[in-house]
C-alpha cells in the first residue's frame, strides 16, 4: 500500500470521528450493507463532504455545522482564486497552433479580466473548492493539523489558468422601414488559447452572418477546438505537491480532488429539481447553449438524423456539458461517447482523437455517426419515430443485460431502456421538434435593436463604459412580449417596489435548465404570469412598456448563462 493509499485510509478514519454528528454517520449507515466497497472510494466520498461541511480557518477538520470562521476562510479562498484567475490574461494578435502555442509566453498587453465573448474561459477558471480540496489532501498526506495560509496562496498561484485572447468585432446593421441603414460595431475579445488544470486548448473561429428581420449581424463564431493536453498539468502538479512522483493512483487522486472541489453544484441541483417536478418540458431550443445549434444542424445534413433528436441525446447524456465525463465508464463529452468508440470513429471522420477530444463539432459528429450506424438514418421522422428509435438508443446507451438491481423494476432490457433513457430523450426531442431553428423572438414583428449588448455610454446619465447586460428592442407601447423559452417564472413585478423609476421597472424573469431570462421595462397592468408559473416558447405574458429607468417604449431582454450575462443574439439568432 503506497503513501497516498495510506493517506486515504487515515482520511477515512479521521473523517468518521470528526463528522459523527452529521455526514459520516449517514454515510456509514448507507455504506454498511456495501462493505466490499473499497476504502478509497469511501474516503473520496467523505472528502467531498469535508470540503464543504468541515472547513475552518486554522484546522483541516472541524465540526459539520458551518461557522463564522468557515465563511471567512471561504472568502479568503475566493479572493485568492479571483486574483489568480485574471493574473495571466493576455492580449495576442492572432490564433495559435500546436507547433506555435502562446503558452507559456506573455501577450502584447495584460487584460486583467476574463473577457471571452462566448464565456469559454468561465468553466476553465480556478474555483475555491478545487483549491481547498488540493490543500486539504496535502494536510492529510503529511498528517498536518493545519493548512498554512502560505500553502493556500501557493496552490492558488500554481493552479492559475493562462488565458490568451485576440481582438475581434461584432458588426450590426439595421434597416428601418424607409430603407435607411445604420451600422454599429462592438469591439470584443475571443479566447484563442487556454492552459489550465483542466486541460490545454486552442480555439479557432470563422466569420458568419446572421439575419433576422431588418437586422444583420456579422461576427466570428467558434469553428474548432483542439486539445493539446488534458490532465497532465494537474496530475503532475499533484504528484509533486504530495511528493509521490511514481504514484500509480494519479488518475484517482486527480478525480478525487476535482470531485471534492466541485462539491455542491447549484446548476446541477436546479436541473435535478426541474426534471423531478416538471419532467423535461422546460427544454426548448433556447435551452441549447449558444454555438451548438450550428453543429447539430451540420450533423443533420451529414448523417440524416434531425438536429432536434441529436440535441435531445446530448442533453440526456451531458446536459450540454462538453467537458462531462462519467467517472465509472469513462464516457465523455456532449454525446457521452466511450474512449474506445472515440478512438475508433474520430479518425474515421477526419478528426484527431487527441487534439479534437473537446472539439464541439467532433463530439457531435462522432455521436451522430454512431447513431446512424445503429439505424437512425432509416427512421421515418414524420410518423411514430419514437418507438422506431428504441433499438438504436438501446445500443447507444449500452443497455445490454438487465442488472440484478433492476430486475425488480423491469421485465426486460427494452423496458429498462425505454423508461430510464429513451422516454426522456423522446420528450426533449418532441419539445425541440415543435420549434424552428431561428428560435423565438420576444417582440413579434418588431426587430429594431435600439441598443445592443455590450459596453456603451449610459443613455440617461451619459456614464461612459457601462456594461449593457442585454439588448433593447424598440417597439410601440403595448406590443406583445412573448417568452423565448420554456421555463419557470422566478419573479414577476417591480424590480424595486420602493422606487418604480429605478432599474428594470416592471420585469419578469424565467429560468430553464441552462439560462436565466430577464424581460424588463414592461407596461403596467400587462403582466400575465406569477412566480411559479410554467411558460412555453411563444407564450404572450406581458406588453412592451417604459417603466423603470427608460427613455421610451422598448423591451430590454437579458440572458444569463453560467452566472454571466451573454449576448441575447447568441440565443435568438439560431438560423
Q: How far apart are CA 216 and CA 319, in angstroms?
A: 31
What pLDDT, on the 0 to 100 scale, is given for residue 13?
41
Query: Are 407 and 459 in the same domain?
Result: no
Query: Are 70 and 118 in the same domain?
Result: no
Q: Is residue 7 part of a domain?
A: yes
Query: Are 457 and 429 in the same domain?
Result: no
Per-residue pLDDT, averaged over 373-394, amounts to 93
Mean model confidence pLDDT for the chain: 83
Q: From the CB of residue 275, how many other CB atoms can be counted at a distance below 10 Å?
A: 16
Query: Are 74 and 95 in the same domain?
Result: no
Domain that holds residue 504: 449-572
What pLDDT, on the 0 to 100 scale, is given for residue 545?
96
Q: What is the pLDDT of residues 91-104, one digit of tens each?
A: 999 999 999 999 99
Q: Is residue 257 part of a domain?
A: yes
Q: How far apart are CA 185 and CA 217, in angstroms?
A: 10
Query: Are 364 and 422 in the same domain?
Result: yes
Q: How far apart are CA 165 and CA 324, in angstroms?
A: 25
Query: Are 422 and 289 in the same domain?
Result: yes
Q: Is residue 382 part of a domain?
A: yes
The set of residues, in sequence order, having a beta carbon less than 8 Å from that of 26 and lying 6+ positions away, is: none
Q: What is the pLDDT of residues 306-315, one digit of tens each?
A: 999 999 999 9
Per-residue pLDDT, averaged over 528-556, amounts to 94
Catalogue the E-assigned strands of 364-405.
none
At 298, give phi and psi (nearest 5°). Answer: -65, -40
Query: Are 351 and 483 in the same domain?
Result: no
Q: From the CB of residue 362, how many other CB atoms can be counted at a distance below 10 Å?
A: 29
First-last CA distance in the chain: 57
Query: Are 429 and 456 in the same domain?
Result: no
Alpha helices in 434-558 (DSSP H): none
Number of domains in the chain: 4
Query: Are 404 and 530 in the same domain?
Result: no
Q: What is the pLDDT of residues 20-29, one digit of tens each?
A: 333 343 443 3
Q: Which of 318, 298, 291 is nearest to 566 (CA)?
A: 291
Structure-block grid coordinates of residue 307: 438536429
Q: Is residue 440 part of a domain?
A: no
Q: How far apart are CA 315 and CA 492, in angstroms?
A: 28
Polymer length in residues for the chain: 575
Query: Are 249 and 224 in the same domain?
Result: no
- Please state whether 268 falls in left (phi above 0), alpha (psi between -120 and 50) or beta: alpha
Query: Are 213 and 309 in the same domain?
Result: no
Which CATH number is 305's domain given?
Answer: 1.10.530.10
Q: Is residue 444 part of a domain?
A: no
Q: Is residue 438 part of a domain?
A: no
pLDDT band at 260 (very low <50, low <70, confident <90, very high): confident
pTM confidence score: 0.73
Q: How far apart are CA 132 and CA 432, in angstroms?
A: 40
What pLDDT, on the 0 to 100 scale, is given for residue 10?
42
Q: Is the per-residue pLDDT at 108 higher than 60?
A: yes
Q: How far apart are CA 367 and CA 305, in angstroms?
A: 11
CA atoms within 13 A on the CB side of 111: 22
Q: Is residue 269 part of a domain?
A: no
Cis preceding-peptide flag for 512 (omega within 30 of 0): no
Q: How far is CA 240 from the centre of its chain?
A: 31
What pLDDT, on the 0 to 100 scale, is given for residue 464?
61
Q: Is residue 481 part of a domain?
A: yes
Query: Are 55 and 183 in the same domain?
Result: no
Q: How far apart are CA 510 and CA 531, in angstroms?
A: 9
Tell the residue number behind the cell numbers 423565438, with chain if given: 440
Q: Is the per-residue pLDDT at 232 higher than 90?
A: yes
Per-residue pLDDT, averaged over 7-12, amounts to 41
Which CATH number is 497's domain given?
Answer: 2.70.70.10
What pLDDT, on the 0 to 100 scale, is given for residue 30?
42
Amino acid at each position: 500500500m503506497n503513501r497516498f493509499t495510506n493517506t486515504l485510509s487515515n482520511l477515512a478514519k479521521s473523517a468518521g470521528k470528526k463528522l459523527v454528528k452529521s455526514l459520516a454517520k449517514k454515510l456509514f449507515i448507507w455504506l454498511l450493507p456495501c462493505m466490499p466497497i473499497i476504502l478509497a472510494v469511501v474516503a473520496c466520498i467523505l472528502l467531498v463532504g469535508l470540503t464543504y461541511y468541515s472547513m475552518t480557518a486554522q484546522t483541516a477538520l472541524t465540526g459539520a455545522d458551518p461557522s463564522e470562521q468557515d465563511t471567512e476562510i471561504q472568502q479568503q479562498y475566493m479572493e485568492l482564486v479571483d486574483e489568480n484567475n485574471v493574473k495571466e490574461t493576455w492580449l495576442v494578435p492572432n490564433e495559435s497552433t500546436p507547433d506555435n502555442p502562446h503558452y507559456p509566453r506573455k501577450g502584447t498587453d495584460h487584460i486583467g479580466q476574463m473577457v471571452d465573448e462566448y464565456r469559454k474561459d468561465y468553466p476553465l477558471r480556478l474555483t475555491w473548492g478545487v483549491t481547498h480540496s488540493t490543500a486539504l489532501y496535502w494536510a492529510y498526506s503529511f498528517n498536518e493539523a493545519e493548512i498554512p495560509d502560505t500553502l493556500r496562496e501557493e496552490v492558488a498561484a500554481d493552479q492559475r489558468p493562462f488565458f490568451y485572447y485576440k481582438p475581434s468585432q461584432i458588426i450590426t446593421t439595421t434597416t428601418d422601414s424607409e430603407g435607411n441603414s445604420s451600422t454599429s460595431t462592438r469591439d470584443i475579445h475571443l479566447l484563442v488559447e487556454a492552459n489550465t488544470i483542466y486541460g490545454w486548448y486552442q480555439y479557432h473561429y470563422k466569420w458568419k452572418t446572421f439575419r433576422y428581420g431588418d437586422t444583420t449581424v456579422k461576427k466570428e463564431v467558434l469553428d474548432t477546438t483542439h486539445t493539446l493536453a488534458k490532465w497532465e498539468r494537474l496530475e503532475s502538479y499533484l504528484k509533486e505537491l504530495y511528493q509521490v512522483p511514481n504514484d500509480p493512483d494519479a488518475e484517482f487522486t486527480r478525480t478525487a480532488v476535482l470531485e471534492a472541489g466541485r462539491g455542491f453544484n447549484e446548476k446541477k441541483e436546479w436541473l435535478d429539481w426541474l426534471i423531478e417536478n416538471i419532467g423535461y418540458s422546460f427544454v426548448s431550443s433556447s435551452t441549447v447553449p449558444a454555438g451548438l445549434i450550428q453543429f447539430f444542424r451540420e450533423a443533420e445534413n451529414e448523417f440524416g438524423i434531425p438536429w432536434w433528436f441529436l440535441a435531445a441525446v446530448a442533453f440526456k447524456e451531458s446536459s450540454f456539458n462538453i467537458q462531462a465525463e462519467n467517472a465509472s465508464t469513462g464516457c465523455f463529452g456532449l454525446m457521452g461517447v466511450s474512449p474506445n468508440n472515440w478512438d475508433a470513429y474520430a479518425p474515421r471522420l477526419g478528426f484527431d482523437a487527441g487534439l479534437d477530444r473537446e472539439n464541439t463539432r467532433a463530439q457531435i459528429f462522432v455521436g451522430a455517426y454512431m447513431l446512424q450506424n445503429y439505424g437512425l438514418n432509416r427512421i421515418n421522422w414524420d410518423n411514430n419515430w419514437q418507438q422506431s428509435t428504441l433499438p438504436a438508443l438501446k445500443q447507444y446507451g449500452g443497455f445490454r443485460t438487465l442488472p440484478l438491481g433492476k430486475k425488480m423494476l423491469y421485465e426486460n432490457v427494452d423496458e429498462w431502456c425505454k423508461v430510464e433513457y429513451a422516454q426522456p430523450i423522446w420528450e426533449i426531442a418532441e419539445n425541440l421538434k415543435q420549434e424552428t431553428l431561428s428560435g423565438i423572438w420576444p417582440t413579434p414583428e418588431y426587430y429594431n435593436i435600439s441598443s445592443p449588448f455590450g459596453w456603451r455610454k449610459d443613455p440617461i446619465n451619459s456614464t461612459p463604459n457601462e456594461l449593457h447586460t442585454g439588448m433593447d428592442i424598440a417597439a410601440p407601447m403595448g406590443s406583445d412580449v412573448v417568452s423565448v423559452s420554456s421555463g419557470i417564472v422566478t419573479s414577476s413585478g417591480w424590480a424595486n417596489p420602493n422606487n418604480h423609476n429605478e432599474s428594470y421597472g416592471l420585469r419578469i424573469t424565467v429560468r430553464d435548465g441552462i439560462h436565466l431570462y430577464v424581460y424588463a421595462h414592461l407596461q403596467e397592468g400587462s403582466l400575465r404570469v406569477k412566480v411559479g408559473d410554467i411558460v412555453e416558447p411563444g407564450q404572450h405574458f406581458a406588453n412592451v412598456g417604459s417603466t423603470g429607468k427608460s427613455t421610451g417604449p422598448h423591451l430590454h431582454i437579458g440572458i444569463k448563462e453560467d452566472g454571466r450575462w451573454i449576448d441575447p443574439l447568441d440565443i435568438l439568432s439560431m438560423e
